Structure 1
Amino acid sequence: MTIDEPLRRELIRGVLDAGQRVLQIYAQDFSVETKADDSPLTQADMASHHALSNLLQRLTPEVPILSEESDPIAYETRRQWSCYWLIDPLDGTKEFVRRNGEFTLNVALIDNGVPVFGIVHAPVLDVTWWGDAEQGAFKISAEGERAIHVRELPAADERPWRIVGSRLHGVGAFDIFCDQLPSHERVSMGSSLKLCLVAEGAADLYPRLAPTCEWDTAAAQAVVTAAGGYVLDAETLQPLRCNQQDSTLNPFFIVCGQSSARWEKALNVALSV
């Protein structure tokens, strides 16, 4: 499936509209439920889920949809999909509940297991990233739309590496990884924003040594890849793929601008602890 410019613009406009619904709830008092996996759920998750699902059904009725908040779909069904939409209506619900603004809406198109198109929208920041395997990666903000690209990992004596990590998950392993690196700066952030920092050249590495699901990462993976970067399985150093098994859990992974081995020793140490 090809995303042409008219369809892309409709998709981005629809994601931004869903973001406005999320902001309306964000500005009010809202209740928080707990799902079976102990993760939080708010009215904003469901409002975004319905808005994005309706958007995709209207624009591409022939393409199936898998959302974090949809009813479970058996792998026997999903494995037949060569192309499908994968969405996280509200990535970073804990950040939403904490009201720190570090949450996103994620929409990805998966083609034969590969995220080939993705939109990541941060409503509070009013910033949107999108990436297409054929068109490249872009950032939309108050300053307009501009192309983005990962940056080259510098020599150790050139400047400190900038390493981004979660403030809530896998902090111990992140610290162990960073302790093995040359001079560096550590940045904590929520949701898919971490991958987008690498995509736009604002960070060098993002090691994720804690559980995530495919809908958490697919849209931003498409952006990173379109920006010239990589999202690699921490064990095999191969690109993450979607819909390869019954579980939607990702392996641990690392996001990088180049598939350089200069961080591989640090990664192996963190994985071995």
Structure 2
Amino acid sequence: MPLDMSDLLEQVHTIAKDAGAAIMAVYARDFSIEEKEDKSPLTEADKAAHDVIVVGLEAVPGEIPVLSEEHTEGFTGADAHGRYWLVDPLDGTKEFIKRNGEFTVNIALIEHGKPVLGVVVAPALEVSYLAAEGIGAFKVDERDEKGGERQSIQVAGKPAEGTTWRVVGSRSHPSPDLAEWLERLGDHEMVPMGSSLKLCLVAEGAADAYPRLGPTCLWDTGAAQAVVEQAGGRVETLEGQPLRYASPEQHLNPYFVVWGSQ
């Protein structure tokens, strides 16, 4: 069954914003913090956002299976069309705990291993990034003078010879391999940022590259990869292959680099 991507993008954006509202309700008060088996933190907000998203996606036509970070055991695999929803209800839980605003809700539609639709909502910053195949990539800033209208975004392109590269780096995950990679790149300046917002900075042309030489999971990247690719950029493994999602039983991504050029 073909999907109406324009209508679907609107629906998913609404669901992600609703999840963001649930997160902000917890953010505004004291909250409990648990520790998952992998030692990563889990809060009430992660759980609340997961519940909102699952209910919302179940109401979307198509009965597409959902793979969420907070309920991986409930995923039964892609449907007959190779589709599934890939969800991180709260990406950047460490940033949420630090209360620096750099956390997101990530929802992607995967089709035959490729992210074909992505929504990234940063509720504390009141910013959203949206993208879908055949439609393009957009930023929505609820605080701008245009009242939250969609603004088309695109990558900056490869920096000119002799220009300083703007490289996005993680606040929470410094990598020992990064220094060597940066040395090979040449003259650069670091742009620190948390969560999937790192990829979105490249998508909107505010940064030129984001090397991730450390562990990430599928749900950390799927939605923002859709935004990058629809904005004209690339998300590639160190071997130069597009980051893929065709084997969701394997949750970990390989190392990758986000490039703000074709």
TM-score, normalising length: structure 2: 0.92
Contact 1:205 1:255 in 2 (8 A): yes
Residue number in structure 2 paired with 1:78: 77
Q: Secondary structure at the match of 1:121?
A: strand
Q: Note closer, same or farther for the CA distance 1:79–1:7 as it changes in structure 2 (3 Å cut).
A: closer
RMSD: 1.6
Residue number in structure 2 paired with 1:149: 154
Q: 2:257 aligns with which of 232, 237, 254?
A: 254
| Shift, 1:183, TM fit | 1.9
| Counterpart-to-counterpart distance in 2, 1:171 and 1:153 | 24
**4+ runs of 1 displaced by more than 4 Å?**
none
Residue number in structure 2 paired with 1:263: none
| Counterpart-to-counterpart distance in 2, 1:206 and 1:150 | 12
Give CA deviations for 1:88-115 in whole Å, capped at 9, x if unaligned.
Answer: 0000001101111110000000000100
| Shift, 1:63, TM fit | 0.7
Residue number in structure 2 paired with 1:9: 10
| Counterpart-to-counterpart distance in 2, 1:3 and 1:150 | 26
Residue number in structure 2 paired with 1:164: 168
| Shift, 1:80, TM fit | 5.7
| Counterpart-to-counterpart distance in 2, 1:230 and 1:71 | 27
Residue number in structure 2 paired with 1:56: 57
Contact 1:78 1:243 in 2 (8 A): no
The letter of the residue matching 1:253 is F
Give CA deviations for 1:21-42 in whole Å, capped at 9, x if unaligned.
Answer: 1011011100100001111000
Contact 2:5 2:133 in 1 (8 A): no
Contact 1:156 1:182 in 2 (8 A): no
Give CA deviations for 1:1-26 in whole Å, capped at 9, x if unaligned.
Answer: 42443332222122112101101101
Residue number in structure 2 paired with 1:193: 197
Structure 1: runs of 5+ lacking an equivalent: 260-273
| Counterpart-to-counterpart distance in 1, 2:119 and 2:231 | 13
**May I ask how many residue pairs the two structures share in their alignment?**
255
Give CA deviations for 1:235-256 in whole Å, capped at 9, x if unaligned.
Answer: x211011132632100000000
| Shift, 1:87, TM fit | 0.3
The letter of the residue matching 1:96 is F
Residue number in structure 1 paired with 2:22: 21
| Counterpart-to-counterpart distance in 1, 2:260 and 2:211 | 12
Contact 1:163 1:204 in 2 (8 A): yes
Q: Secondary structure at the match of 1:171?
A: coil
| Shift, 1:171, TM fit | 3.1
Residue number in structure 2 paired with 1:223: 227
Percent identity, aligned pairs only, is 49
TM-score, normalising length: structure 1: 0.89
Q: Note closer, same or farther for the CA distance 1:51–1:245 as it changes in structure 2 (3 Å cut).
A: closer
| Shift, 1:71, TM fit | 4.2
39-48 vs 136-145, which moves further: 136-145
Give CA deviations for 1:29-67 in whole Å, capped at 9, x if unaligned.
Answer: 001000011110000000000001100001135111110
| Counterpart-to-counterpart distance in 2, 1:175 and 1:152 | 23
Q: Note closer, same or farther for the CA distance 1:151–1:39 as it changes in structure 2 (3 Å cut).
A: same
Residue number in structure 1 paired with 2:242: 239
| Counterpart-to-counterpart distance in 2, 1:186 and 1:71 | 34
| Shift, 1:172, TM fit | 2.4
Residue number in structure 2 paired with 1:270: none
